[in-house]
Each structure stands twice: as structure tokens, then as C-alpha cells.
A and B are shown apart, each in its own frame.
Chain A
Amino acid sequence: MRLEPKPAPSLGMTLLFPLAAIAATLLLTSLLVLAAGASPLSVFYLVAKGAAGSQFALLETLTRATPLIFTGLAVAVAFRAKLWNIGAEAQLYIGGVVTVVLGTGALPLPSVILIPVIMLAAMLAGGLLLLGPAILKTRFGVDEVVTTLLLNFIVLLFVSMLLEGVLKDPMGLGWPQSQKVIADAQLPRIIQGKRLHYGFVVAIVSAIVVWVIMKKTVLGYEMRAVGHNPEGARFVGIPVNRVLMKTALLSGGLAALAGFSEVSGLKGNLTLDLSPGYGYSGIVVAMLAMLNPLGVVVSAIFVAGIFVGADAMSRIAKVPSYIADVMVATSLLTMVVAILLTRFRVRWK
């Protein structure tokens, strides 16, 4: 078996392959639905209905997509430069920590200043958290996959320590949770009485900004060059290590915004279940979008829809909601195969 490079695919083909990957995912996971003794068509219908069948469902999907857009962008930026950031989960939690530290009354500032200050501080903290592994990679040659993965566990324990210590809400009846952020530090809701908040708007704006950085700036060009061929990039005079540092700051910062937006826009306080694995799902979101920042918005909404829809479905049909996680993981693998098929022709013999 051999792989032969193909000419660059047309835009139509490029869009067709994610759809093919999704179709393959549905086909594969329908086997599990059958194993659970349910009909795949009715289960997938219930998932779709639960994700987008009503105004409530749609708003819930967009709410769930918000953190995924941030973590998806974080992964897309990092992977583009081949900086394997698997630590978006940790960076998200650090963003949440910064939000409650600064947002519970420590800074007496009006909302229009306070919120940007918190956002920048959260981004800085998340960026610095990824800078560590990036420096270990460039200085010592330590694989950043393992260090970022291990940091996820360390940071979660660190957050647990804070929530049972200095950040513990004295009124929390003993639960490990922080105080609520003050009203001035809260992102308002987009529609009164609904859960969708302005974090979603921030996420969309971030996606556009990241798209501009990647496509229109020197940094974006350098990041792509480093990811494509680090030796070649070094040869033409691109400061590879410095580009990786900047990538780390940007990627970690974006992931931290997910934590900021969840605390400030949705939950109000920090708990240990702030994220049900948004950092890891962000990898899938980024890959489904083929690392395109604007595509991340679409794929985040899609992935969020699967999770929201599966929750609704499992209340009706007797299929465990973990089917959503299986679908998301499967779509990652079918997607990388689909991307391969856009670039190469498989020759048997």
C-alpha cells in the first residue's frame, strides 16, 4: 500500500470531507445504538431535536458551544505551529481561578474596565501556564504532549486545594466552591432570562481575530511556517523558538478565556466541575475544523449540539448519554482519515 500526493483539492471537496467523516461516524456509532436495543434513526432524530429542535435547545447548544470555541481556537492555533497543547483543560481552569480572584470584589472598577482587565489577566495566566511546557520543549527537548497532559492533573489538584482553602466560599455550606463574582464582573445574558451570555459574542470575535492573525499577519505566517517545516523556517531566518513562545501565549490565553467565560457568563463561581472535558473536546473541535479559526465556530456548535442533544435523548431513549463522547471521539478519527484522503491517493500495491 502506498500514499501518493494529490493536487490541492477544490473548496467543494474540502467541505465534502468533513461531511463524509460525520456520515461515517453516524454509521459506526449506530452499531452501538443497535447494541443498546434502540433504533439508530429515532435516536439520531432525538439527538438532533434535542440539539436544535426548539429555541431552548438551540440556545442551550450555543451556550455549550461557547467554551468549546475558545478551547478549539486554542488547539487550532497551537497545532498549526505543531505545538501539541493537550493542556487546554488546565489553562481553562487557571482562567477560571483568575476570574474569581479578581472578580469577587478585589478590584473596585466599573464593569467596562473590570471585565477587560479580568480577561487580559486570565489570558496572561493561561498563556504563562503553556509557556512552561513550550520552554521545556525548546530548551530541553521535553515532549510537550506529556508535560501538558500531566499539568492538567496538577492544576486540577491545585484548584481543588484553592477551593478548600483560600478561595473557599465561607457561605458555601462546606462545598468546595468559590464565592460568586460581583455583578460588575459578570458578562450579561444576551436574552433576558436565558442562559446564553455575551461570552458567545466574545468567542465569535476571538475566532475572527485569530483568523486575521493566522491569515493576515507576519506572526500567523511564521506560525504556519514553523508548523509546516521547522528546519526550513529556521533556514529562512524565522526565529522558531520565539514563534513557539508566542504561539504558547496565544493558545494558552484562548483556552483561559473559556474558563473566564464559563465563570463570568454562566456559572458565576468556580467549582471543580467547571469543565466536563472542554479542553479535550477542543482537540476534536479544532481537527473537525481542519484548524481553521472560523471553521472552529461551526464545529464547536456541532460538537456542542451532539452533547446537548444526547443529554436530551438519553432522558427519553434508553441509550447512555456517553454515546455523545463516543461520537465525538469517533469523528476525530474519521476526520483525520478524511483529511488524509483530500491530500493523498491510497494505492494498493
Chain B
Amino acid sequence: MDAFEILFTASFWVAAIRIASPLIFATMGELICERAGVLNLGIEGIMTAGAFAGWFTVYAGGDLWTGVLVAALAGAMFGLLHATLTVPLSLSQHVVGIGVTLLATSLTYFTYRLVLPEVTSPPKIEPFQPLPIPGLSQIPLFGEALFSQTPLTYLAFVTVAVVAWVLYRTPVGLAVRAAGENPSAVEAQGISVTGIRMGAVMVGSALMAVGGAFLTMSAFNSFFFEMINGRGWICIALVVFGSWRPGKALLGAILFAAFDAYQVRLQQLSGGIVPYQVFLMMPYALSILALILVARRATYPKALMIPYQKGER
């Protein structure tokens, strides 16, 4: 098989969509936070916490959907912490975000060691299984990729639709977008900017945690340390790349994942001439490149990272 033929194999596209799924959840989560005006650098740690919370719920005997719910709740709790410090207290979103990442990660590792003190190899759970949709999954090339995935992948796509619909078609979405562009206008409508922003960060963080849980409950079947491996930071780049729009961000995530799946296959083809680390670097380098490409015409939400205090201008 040569490098070009890879693109025409169904298994490549199945892998691409699978790799994209956690990124889609987390990117949507970050997008919601940023549209409301809050940069959430807690994303990496929140994904770690979600990955563990979901997996452990199932390991302890809960069912898979309960696991997803627990992960989302854990994410929302860290979101509440982040939002309390950055929104009403107006603390630096950079410092608090890094702090939340450090806290969520270390709490997760502490809890893991506490509940599983003796294990050497990570225990496994029975993860989500692919759920082929009859008929559609038979479509050549893309059928399997889009219609023979786990329920959590379908949920990722549904999430994009819901986020887009809420942001652009509902009063709540209007308030969220306005809180990120012109918070005084929101306050003038009698809506609390603090409330909107805190709510957005909590919902966004819940989605990030579900993104993390996808890794332990759908892509793999166990939790191990450092498994998020920078995916959170990549999602922050994807939000910028998608110019803060759900549809574009979804496209960016799939494009990115396709590239990631492609480099893995290319690595196998290269037969070890190029060091494998070069391939592993590509996703991170690509994220930086994407940021540079879009930076000049990026239109940030105008109030992003600008704290809002009622009655001040």
C-alpha cells in the first residue's frame, strides 16, 4: 500500500472519526467557555479527571452511561471552581486555569493510587461497543466511519448540533455570545453576566470531562497516567482554528484527527527510516502551525479574558 492509497481505506476513516470524538467534546466545551468570555486552561486537567471518573464508575460496578454522567459532574465541579475564581473574583484566567489543571490532574492521580494501591497494570472495563446503524453503515468508504461507531461518538456529533443550535437560535445562546462580546449589554438586559459566564464554564467543563471519559470508556478500556497527553491544549488551538464556530471547529477536529490517523499509518509505511518521535511530534507542530495560519484573521470574542465587574466600565 502506498501513502496515497491509505486515504481510500475504510479503516483509516474509522480511526480518524474515533480520534476526533474526544477532541470534538472538549473543543465544544472550550468553545462555550470562550464564547462567554472565559479562557479555560483547566481543560487538560478536567479531561484527566473525566477520564478517571467515568472509568472508575464503571469499574466500581456502575453502568456506562452512569459513568459518562459522573464524568460530566466531576467536570462541572472543576468548572465551578474555575468559574468562581475567574468570574466573580476576576482572577487571572491564565494562572487559575493552569492551577485547575494541576489540581485536577494531581487529585486524579492521588485518588487512583488511593483506590487502587496495589495494581501494577491498569485494570480493564467493558467499554462502549460499536453500534452499526443498519443500511447506512454499509455505504462504501465513509459508511463505517460515520455509522459504525460507539454511541459516545454519535453523542459527540449530536453535541455539536446542540451547541450550534443553542448558541445561535436561543435566547440563552444570545446571552452567552453577548457575555463574550459586550457584557455591559447583557447586564443592561437585566441578565447577570456572572451567572451566564459561570454557567457556560460549568457546562463547558462538563463536556471536556466527557471528552476525557471517551478515551477510557470508548477508545480504550482502562485509565493510565498522562493519557490525555496534551489533547486539551490541542483543543484550545482547535477553537481558534475553528474561529469560535461549532461547525468549523468540528471540521477542524476531524481534519486534525485524519492527519493524526494518517501519520500513524505513514509511520508504519516508513519502516523506521524516520525516527518515530518525528511522527509523534506532528500533531503538536500542526496545532502551532494552525494557530499561526489563522492568527492574523482571527476575531476573538471581544471580551475574552476581560473580567467583568458590575457597574464598572
Show the binding face of A for B, using Cβ within 8 Å: 1-3, 32, 35-36, 79, 84, 86, 136, 140-143, 145-147, 149-154, 157-158, 160-161, 164-165, 280, 283-284, 287, 318, 320, 322-323, 325-326, 328-330, 332-333, 336-337, 340, 346
Contact = CB atoms under 8 A, between A and B. Distances in A.
Given A141-B296, A142-B292, A337 B106 contact: no
**Chain A interface, DSSP helix/strand/loop, else mixed:** helix
B136 interface: no
Interface string B67-108: 000000000000001000100111110111011101101110
A133 B105 CA distance: 25
A197 to B, nearest CB: 28
B278 A150 contact: no
A348 B139 CA distance: 61
A150 B292 contact: no
B219 interface: no
Interface in B178-233: 194, 229-230, 233
A150 B233 contact: yes
A150 B287 contact: yes
A72 to B, nearest CB: 14
A329 B103 contact: yes
Nearest to A341: B89
Given A323-B110, A333-B99, A147 B85 contact: no
Given A149-B233, A160-B277, 10 more contacts: A1-B194, A141-B295, A141-B298, A142-B295, A146-B287, A153-B284, A164-B275, A320-B113, A329-B99, A336-B92
Contact of B98 (A141, A142, A150, A283): A283
Nearest to B95: A336
Contacts of B194: 1
B225 to A, nearest CB: 10
Contacts of A86: 98
A103 B81 CA distance: 46
Interface in B95-129: 95-96, 98-100, 102-103, 105-107, 109-110, 113-114, 117
Nearest to A4: B309
A84 B233 CA distance: 14
| Chain A CB within 10 Å, residue with most, of B194, B277, B278 | B277
Contacts of A336: 85, 91-92, 95-96, 99
B281 interface: yes
13 contacts: A136-B288, A136-B291, A136-B292, A141-B298, A146-B287, A150-B287, A153-B229, A153-B233, A322-B106, A322-B109, A325-B102, A326-B106, A333-B103
B240 to A, nearest CB: 8
Interface of B: 41, 81, 85, 88-92, 94-96, 98-100, 102-103, 105-107, 109-110, 113-114, 117, 194, 229-230, 233-234, 236-237, 240, 275, 277-278, 280-281, 284-285, 287-288, 291-292, 295-296, 298, 309-311
Contacts of B240: 143, 146
A145 B41 contact: yes
A264 B284 CA distance: 30
Contacts of A160: 277
B47 to A, nearest CB: 14
Nearest to A161: B277
A287 B102 CA distance: 14
A55 B98 CA distance: 34
Contact of B230 (A84, A149, A287, A332): A149
A281 to B, nearest CB: 8
B277 A158 contact: yes
B295 to A, nearest CB: 4
B311 A337 contact: no
A2 B311 contact: yes
Nearest to B86: A336
A140 B295 contact: yes
A326 B104 CA distance: 8
Contacts of B95: 79, 283, 287, 332, 336
The residue in A136, A151, A287, A332 that gathers the most chain B C-beta atoms within 10 A of its C-beta is: A332
